[in-house]
Amino acid sequence: MNISDKLKSNPAALWSAVVLIACALVALPFVLAMAGTTWVRVTNLAILFTLLALGLNIVVGFAGLLDLGYIAFYGVGAYTYALLASPQFNLHLPFWIILPIGALTACVFGVLLGAPTLKLRGDYLAIVTLGFGEIVRIFFNNLSQPVNITNGPQGISRIDPISIGNFSFNGSEVILGINFSGPVKYYYLLLLVLIAVIVINLRLEDSRIGRAWQAIREDEIAAAAMGINTTRIKLLAFAMGASFGGVAGGMFAAMQGFISPDSFVLVESVMVLSMVVLGGMGNIWGVIVGALLLSFVPELLRHTVDPLQRSLFGRLIVEPEVVRMLLFGLALMLMMLFRPAGLWPSKVRRRELAEK
Amino acid sequence: MSALLEATNINKRFGGIEALSAVSMRIERAEIYGLIGPNGAGKTTFFNVLTGVYRADGGAFTFDGTALNVKAPHEVAAAGIARTFQNIRLFANMSALENVMVGRHVRTHAGIFGAILRGAGTRAEERAIHERARVLLDYVGLAARGNALAHSLPYGDQRRLEIARALATAPKLLALDEPAAGMNATETATLRTLLERIRDDGTTILLIEHDMKLVMGLCDRIAVLDYGRKIAEGAPAAVRNDAAVIEAYLGGELA
Ligand SMILES: Nc1ncnc2c1ncn2[C@@H]1O[C@H](COP(=O)(O)OP(=O)(O)OP(=O)(O)O)[C@@H](O)[C@H]1O
Ligand SMILES: [Mg+2]
């Protein structure tokens, strides 16, 4: 990390860099909007998935517990929001009440998953968490009978947008002569949440609890001998990771206005885990890079593969979705071969894998 | 004052193997108490039972005047017993300093909200953890290696880092499982000075060690295990000349 060291020793350069990045982030949605509002939406989803990847990084990267059902917490957060702010039960609570409730509910689910799996490691833990993710999704699918709670596979629609007083994040608005579309407004909100989550993650990593997580990842027996209550600290990792997932899920529900069990399938868990692994497990900045890459590249493909084939061959030969999965698989394989520690690994993983 | 640790009739079986049978010992405050015996005698098992890794099949420990009732290994550190491991168990991919900082866990309090909010209290505690860890690294002679990843350290340094990490829990009893294993003569001499200093600073040491020269020169008293039984106990000179001990070692290391 030579660059960051250099920046640290030169506060003027550091601050100019911060201001520059901040300006770029503020201007970004308007630049994207020129290419189409879709791209702002894509960016918003990318930020949501970055939130998810950062949450999963606590469990997988810091504490070393493999979780293949993480998307369940995203789902729990989303459904909590949807049920408390939609015509489904005719409840319309404000977001600043629901988001914490969603985080808390997801947190409870995190503990529910964590408690029975405390003694499991590696493959076994992966299988149980995978099953957990599926169970939660199947509940979403089937809790429409005998009492209709989740509305089954049809999902829940007309979910309230996030609003503060009269200001709603849905719909366009002209402020100071500039037109802010709904997605642009959500972009700024998500950006704020993302910054908060990054700060929280950085602080957690460099704290008494964060060190305890890493100690457990490194050697559970030694950690216990140092007085770390491994049960409690592992549950804490599950709970924290799940809470982040819950918040992201709530924002997803509000932003989309519609959710169904289809958004919380196993592939999504795998995708979030891939983001963590691709970027560099345990390194917050690496995880962010991984999440952004895996969010944007498929969208770029979607918008290029189809027109490209039509202009070259006059018709569509290979579906964009197929190309996407093909390249995804190829990328993962190349990565395992050439950068097994991730694109931007933590110092830890890099050395660990270099030894082997 | 009562003894620091009193073990009474400790039993531990592994299937057919009687790893410990009716082992009793009294460890006085501020002494270095040696625990020796041939390979497989049950020394490490005694540590594991004492520190809650295994549950004893029978017997009881009294520590610092009260019964030691541990339900989980982490409670032992809180009670004031810290240990090192025969097969070094450092947090390999954390820095030397971070390893020692983890040792402060049991004596500090910041929780998840403290970590997120980073109020004045948490920051003060973090500073104190940092400071203490630096002092301890210096104490064991690793002041210059704080930023090195634990697994990148030479073997002897790793052993000393384990001691620093254990000391960070502010133990009353420091249990060391073969700390000199794999050390050369110079490193062993440094280790000896370190252990004497730890004792003189008031921490009692329970020492498993195969290096007889070190054990005989360092320990105030020694117990000898053989096939899970205590066959001798006493001052080094007495133990060295004990017929049963010589028999157990077949004249090997003691000769
Ligand atoms: N977890 C276990 N399961 C089964 N048997 C065990 C276990 N741990 C130790 N033993 C057995 O208990 C006996 C005592 O082992 P222990 O490791 O305590 O010996 P030791 O005195 O530390 O020997 P060394 O000097 O070689 O370290 C040995 O016969 C060993 O095989
Ligand atoms: Mg042993």
Domain residue ranges in chain B: 1-80+171-255, 91-169
Whether residue B116 contacts residue B124, with contact meaning beta carbons closer than 8 Å, is answered with no
User: Mean per-residue pLDDT for A273-291?
Assistant: 88
Tell me the nearest-neighbour CA distance from A144 into chain B, angstroms. Answer: 37
Between CA A44 and CA A255 the distance in angstroms is 9
Q: Whose CA is nearest to atom 19 of ligand 1?
A: B40
Cα angle, residue A130 at apex, residues A126 and A134 outer, rounded to 5°: 170
Task: Please check the confidence at residue A271 and state whether its pLDDT lies above 60.
Answer: yes
What is the per-residue pLDDT across A191-245, written as a single tens digit (0 to 9) for each? 999 999 999 999 999 999 999 999 999 999 999 999 999 999 999 999 999 999 9
- Residue A227 Rama label (left phi>0; alpha psi -120 to 50; beta): left
Least-confidence region, from A73-77, A216-220, A245-249, A334-338: A334-338
Longest dimension (CA), chain B: 64
Check B73 against A236: CB less than 8 A apart: no
DSSP string, A306-348: HHHHHHHHSS--S-HHHHHHHHHHHHHHHHHHH-TT-SS--HH
Q: Whose CA is nearest to atom 12 of ligand 1?
A: B19
Q: Whose CA is nearest to atom 30 of ligand 1?
A: B40
Please name the residues in contact with A110: beta carbons below 8 A apart, sequence gap of 6 or more. A73, A235, A238, A239, A240, A241, A242, A243
Cβ of B43 closer than 6 Å to ligand 1, yes or no, is: yes
Please list every residue in chain B whose beta carbon sits closer than 8 Å to the beta carbon of residue A214.
Answer: 91, 93-94, 98
Whether residue A58 contacts residue A201, with contact meaning beta carbons closer than 8 Å, is answered with yes
What is the per-residue pLDDT across B46-66, written as a single tens digit (0 to 9) for each? 999 999 999 999 999 999 999
3-state secondary structure of B174: strand
CATH of B1-80+171-255, one of 3.90.550.10, 3.30.70.20, 2.102.10.10, 3.40.50.300: 3.40.50.300
Q: What is the 3-state secondary structure (H, E, C) of A251-309?
A: HHHHHHCCECHHHHCHHHHHHHHHHHHHHCCCCHHHHHHHHHHHHHHHHHHHHHHHHHH
Mutate to test the pocket of ligand 1, among B11, B17, B50, B51 (most ligand atoms within 8 A of CB): B17
Burial of B237 (0-12, 13-18, 19+ CB in 10 A): exposed
For chain A, the structural domain boundaries read 1-34, 36-266
- Phi and psi angles of residue A277, each rounded to the nearest 5 degrees, phi first: -70, -45
DSSP string, A142-191: HTTSSS-SS-GGG-B-SPPPPEETTEESSS-EEETTEEE-HHHHHHHHHH
Mutate to test the pocket of ligand 1, among B10, B44, B83, B225 (most ligand atoms within 8 A of CB): B44
Q: Which pLDDT score, from 0 to 100, does residue B246 have?
A: 86
For residue A146, is the peptide bond before it cis, meaning its omega torsion is within 30 degrees of 0? Answer: yes
Give CA separation, A119 vs A85, A211, A230, A256, B42, in Å: 38, 20, 10, 38, 27
**B101 near A CB under 8 A:** yes
Please list every residue in chain A whose beta carbon sits closer than 8 Å to the beta carbon of residue B101.
Answer: 211
Between CA B241 and CA B228 the distance in angstroms is 21
Least-confidence region, from A235-249, B154-168, B241-255: B241-255
Q: Structure pTM?
A: 0.91
Give CA separation, A49 vs A53, A172, B82, in Å: 6, 24, 43
Whether residue A59 contacts residue A237, with contact meaning beta carbons closer than 8 Å, is answered with yes
Please list every residue in chain B whose beta carbon sits closer than 8 Å to the beta carbon of residue A107.
Answer: none
Cβ of B223 closer than 6 Å to ligand 1, yes or no, is: no
